[in-house]
Amino acid sequence: MEAAEASAGDAKTSSPGASGGETLIEVENLTKFYRDFHAVKGASFKLGRGEVVGFLGPNGAGKSTTMRMLVGALPATSGRARVCGFDVHEDDIEVKRRIGYLPEIPPVYFDLTVMDQLKFGASLKGLKGAEARASIEKSIDRCQLQEHVYRLVGQLSKGFRQRVGLAQALLGKPEVLILDEPTVGLDPKQIQYVRALIQELATEHTVLLSTHILQEVTMVAQRVIMIRRGEIVIDDTLADLHKKHDGKSIEEIFLAKVEE
Amino acid sequence: MTPFLGIFKKELKVAFTTPVAYVVFFLFALISSAIFWSQLRDYERLVQRSKHIEDAEFLAQLNFNDVILSELFINVQIIFIFLLPILTMRVFAEERKQKTMELLMTTPITTGTVVFGKYAAMLAVLVCLIALLFVYPIILTMFGESSINASVVDWNTCLLGMLGVFLCAVTFSAVGFAFSSFTDSQIVAALITFFMLLLLWFLGGASASVHGVVGDVLGFLSPLNHIQNFAKGVLHIGDVVYYLSMATLFLVVAYRAVEGQKWA
């Protein structure tokens, strides 16, 4: 509706978040109804460049729904979302060029090898020739898939499939990474590895990561957005949260909010 | 690699890694050879009979194209009614079931690229499948004898028949694409496609008993009535228009369904 305003210039407005700088993700009053069920009730938040934000909430709170609306996989009932200044509804192709998205279930084909899967992912992002090869190589290195390149995705364990999905999301060096529960189903060692990887990624990407594991947020994110029954109830940096709740741990704050 | 080429290649890789395509190829070879063999027996019987009753005129008219190949091409259409739904069932249904549709929906590609990339790959598979049919005229050329022509097989007629078979596959697979886009169950997609094709085919039979314009329209809608000309070696522009417009119609339905899921 407001396509005319959805120009790249808008990205220069400042962020309320921790790091300041330009705003990459801007969500305004985003609402989603599934028939009668009000899944997301007017969510609004902003993410600045280089931020790593943990998106917290109990199961079924609307985390995935919000993220899917943000990447253009699901239309919002009302409200709007912008990524890098482009409206998700009006300029979805431009938005999709700039995001790497890892859904809850990694979108990988069981009948392809890891290499073929990543080649396919690279082609969908429009990467060609040497650029595609370099990007695939880097992704494989980062997600430590070197030894599994020629195995079929279907033969890999869930943890490895998750890593293939993550490697795929990283292709083409997207400005924004949106990761939906990236550590679910991984073993403790892999979880540790993925968390370290996300911290590393934060130097190049803006990351919005959802989780229901509380420690994860304190480990990788500087800022927390908490959603409960479709409503955003907390949007603050970790440091400020501690101050406001006189030194309580994130678990305590979170549980108090859930039970409210 | 462009996204179109990427989808095309991925579809072919998946098609030939899973056993489904091989099973379909095997069944197609098996059934078509059974038809070929039975037509060959018919031909032999006709030759014997016309020799017996000394019908020299009929004997002179007998040829491989009319008795064997054109019958084969017409029957291939019936094999397609059973086999093509199996080839097309996974095309969108599996993407939805395995949630890989999410990847296609969140990368910078258009719905058209997805649908036509997949369709181009399907046509490539079908060309391979139909190429198997060349075995039969080659066998006839190698082992057959003809009293009238220098060449025992009229290749022009034969190639036109093949074109008809290909156009038929183009249409049937478009029907399969449409129904695969409606559901996340491959079985449901295959069954509905099968019944749709069967229904279209029956229209041909029904049209014979209905008089007037309605009968003509029903007859025109049935693929049965359009393969006949091709099989006989007659290129009728109406038949080409029929196949291509049916294919377009069902592809548009598939396109709308996939596009609709994006904004559903």
Q: What is the pLDDT of residue A7?
A: 40
Q: What pLDDT digit, counting tens, does each position of A175-204 carry?
A: 999 999 888 878 888 888 888 888 888 888
Give yes or no for A44 touching B (CB within 8 A). Answer: no
Q: What is the pLDDT of residue B162?
A: 93
Contact A168 B264 (CB under 8 A): no
| Residue-level pLDDT, tens digit, chain B, 264 residues | 799 999 999 999 999 998 999 999 999 999 999 999 999 999 888 888 888 887 777 777 778 888 888 899 999 999 999 999 999 999 999 999 999 999 999 999 999 999 999 999 999 999 999 999 999 999 888 887 765 555 678 888 899 999 999 999 999 999 999 999 999 999 999 999 999 999 998 887 787 788 888 888 888 888 888 888 888 888 989 999 999 999 999 999 999 999 988 765
Contact of A124 with B103, CB cutoff 8 Å: yes
Contact B101 A107 (CB under 8 A): yes
Give yes or no for A121 touching B (CB within 8 A). Answer: yes
Contact of A207 with A198, CB cutoff 8 Å: yes
Mean predicted confidence (pLDDT) in A89-115? 93
Contact A124 B109 (CB under 8 A): yes
Which of B1, B14, B263 shows the shortest C-beta gap to A112?
B14
Query: What is the end-to-end Cα distance of chain A in Å, rounded?
Result: 37
Selection from A166, A211, A164 nearest residue A184 by Cα: A211
Contact of B243 with B163, CB cutoff 8 Å: no
Calculate the alpha carbon distances from B119 to B11, B91, B96, B165 in Å.
Answer: 9, 9, 17, 17
What are the beta bridge partners of residue A32? A40
Q: Rounded to whole angstroms, how far apart are CA atoms B75 and B67?
A: 12
CA A111 to chain B, closest CA, distance in angstroms equals 6
Q: What is the pLDDT of residue A13?
A: 38
Q: Which H or E element spans position A134?
A: helix A129-142
Query: Among B12, B100, B107, which would you mutate to test the A interface (most chain A Cβ atoms within 10 Å of its Cβ)?
Result: B107
Which residues, at least 6 apart from A47, have a Cβ–Cβ distance to it below 8 Å?
A: A15, A17, A23, A24, A25, A26, A53, A176, A206, A208
Residues of chain B with C-beta less than 8 angstroms from the C-beta of A94: 108
Q: What is the pLDDT of residue B149?
A: 55
Contact of B255 with B112, CB cutoff 8 Å: yes
Q: What is the pLDDT of residue B140?
A: 87
Contact A101 B264 (CB under 8 A): no
State the DSSP string of chain B. Answer: --HHHHHHHHHHHHHHHSSHHHHHHHHHHHHHHHHHHHHHHHHHHHHHHHHHTT-HHHHHH--HIIIIIHHHHHHHHHHHHHHHHHHHTHHHHHHHHTTTHHHHHSSS--HHHHHHHHHHHHHHHHHHHHHGGGHHHHHHHHH---SS-SSSS-HHHHHHHHHHHHHHHHHHHHHHHHHHTS-S-HHHHHHHHHHHHHHHHHHHHHHHHS-HHHHHHHHHH-THHHHHHHHHT---HHHHHHHHHHHHHHHHHHHHHHHHHHT-
**Tokens 């990007």, residue?**
A135
**B19: nearest CA in chain A?**
A111
Contact B99 A105 (CB under 8 A): yes
Residues of chain A with C-beta less than 8 angstroms from the C-beta of B101: 107
Selection from B220, B186, B228 nearest residue B203 by Cα: B220
Share of chain A above pLDDT 70, in %: 92
Selection from B252, B227, B250, B249 nearest residue B240 by Cα: B227
CA A112 to chain B, closest CA, distance in angstroms equals 7
Look up residue A15 and give its DSSP letter.
Answer: P
Mutual orientation of helices B186-209 and B212-221 as an angle, nearest 10°? Answer: 140
Give yes or no for A94 touching B (CB within 8 A). Answer: yes
Chains A and B form CB pairs within 8 A to the count of 88
- In CATH, the number for domain A3-107+175-259 is 3.40.50.300
Domain ranges of chain A: 3-107+175-259
Contact B99 A119 (CB under 8 A): no
Contact B264 A75 (CB under 8 A): yes
**A70: nearest CA in chain B?**
B106
Q: Rounded to whole angstroms, how far apart are CA atoms B210 and A233?
A: 69
Q: Which H or E element spans position A237?
A: strand A231-237
Q: Rounded to whole angstroms, how far apart are CA atoms A49 and A177?
A: 11
- Tell which A residues from 167 to 186 touch B, by Cβ distance under 8 Å: 168
Q: What is the pLDDT of residue A3?
A: 41
Selection from B246, B206, B248, B249 nearest residue B226 by Cα: B246
Contact A120 B264 (CB under 8 A): no
Give yes or no for A193 touching B (CB within 8 A). Answer: no
Calculate the alpha carbon distances from A120 to B2, B6, B97 in Å.
Answer: 10, 5, 19
Contact A107 B108 (CB under 8 A): no
Selection from A23, A157, A171 nearest residue A84 by Cα: A23
Residues of chain B with C-beta less than 8 angstroms from the C-beta of A99: 106
Contact of B44 with B91, CB cutoff 8 Å: no
Which of A103, A125, A132 shows the shortest C-beta gap to B107?
A125
Domain ranges of chain B: 3-262
